[in-house]
Structure 1
Amino acid sequence: MDEETDAILDPDVSPKADFDDVLVPTDGSKASRAAARQAIKFAQRNGATLHVLYAMDMGDADYVAVPSDIEQTRKRLQKKGERYVAEIADLAAEADVPCVTSVTSNTPIEAILEYVEENDVDVVVMGKRGRSDPDKPLIGSITNRVIGALDVPVFTA
């Protein structure tokens, strides 16, 4: 465990595996930043490419808002997502880890599942809980559903 982040994955003691593509989804939360730090170490140790994903979840906005509000919300979420993935990409660059970023419009769960499949991701490193459920005692609902839905390893931080 990493004392600073309480992470389950410690790339300094984990055996080297054949992972070429590591995905870290982010929502900008403290837990996702901790996961990003661990994912960068993991990618560095394995010579892997780091993939950073932010999902713009519009929810029911398409049904309740006027078109100008929807577009304004999309732009705001796009800008926020670009900022979150850029922060992690900067950390990856400092560690000399190749990095690919993506901001997509979908629910977090669907975005993660689609990204893993479309990009042949080998492992996912994500926060135990995100912005929507920071007080959960173990893991949040999105992390729980991703773990149950994927066939690739999912590590939490």
Structure 2
Amino acid sequence: MFDTILIPTDGSDHADDAAETALELATIHEAAIHVACVADTGPLSELHLPGDAASAEDAMRGRAQEYVDAVVDRADAAGLDVTGTVLEGPPESELIEYADEIDADLIVMGTRGRGGVHRMAMGSVTDHVVRFGDVPVLVANSGTESA
């Protein structure tokens, strides 16, 4: 049923829970895994880390690679066919484009379970991918935070 599963990660517990679900599905379906983390190196990225913009972008790319490597290691340990990549740009559009590029059958993403005003103010990468992507998305909700 699934040949290629995309696992977006941001290193959070929610993403780790979703990765575990995706790895179980990949094992059952003998699917290839693609793990991706998006380093949002846009104009606001320099606000997240101290120093000049180039240093901030390098740090973001390095952190993204660490997140990808952690999930790739878990997939390798499970004996799965896995590829890891760091993407750059707005996470919402980069994940949708990458899913199309690799011809993913499924995207498995985590969510923080936020709702109400907090979700509207913060936005949601998962929500955007569900609404605007062409690939089915399994949302693994690992808990609910209050709004």
Which TM-score tier does this pair reach, normalised by the shorter chain? Answer: 0.7 to 0.9
1:56 matched to 2:39? The reply is yes
Q: Give SS of 1:54's match.
A: strand
1:108 matched to 2:91? The reply is yes
TM-score by length of 2: 0.82
* Superposition deviation, residue 152 in structure 1: 1.8
TM-score by length of 1: 0.77
Q: Give SS of 1:38's match.
A: helix
Q: Distance in 2 between matches of 1:27 and 1:63?
A: 18
Q: 2:19 aligns with which of 36, 59, 68?
A: 36
Which letter maps to 2:85? Answer: S
Contact 1:20 1:47 in 2 (8 A): yes
Which letter maps to 1:136? Answer: R
- In the alignment, structure 1 segments of 5+ residues that lack a partner are 1-17, 130-134
RMSD: 2.1
Q: Give SS of 1:60's match.
A: coil
Which letter maps to 2:111? Answer: K
Q: 1:152 to 1:55 in 2, by over 3 A?
A: same
Partner residue, 1:81: 64
Counting aligned pairs with the same residue, the percent is 33
Q: Give SS of 1:87's match.
A: helix
* Superposition deviation, residue 137 in structure 1: 3.8
- In the alignment, structure 2 segments of 5+ residues that lack a partner are 141-147
Partner residue, 1:136: 114
Structure with bigger helix share is 2
Q: Deviations over 1:74-103 (max 9, x none)?
A: 110111011000100111011111110010
Q: Distance in 2 between matches of 1:30 and 1:113?
A: 22
Partner residue, 1:97: 80
- After TM superposition, which residue ranges in structure 1, 4 or more long, deviate above 6 angstroms? none
How many residue pairs align between the two structures? Answer: 132
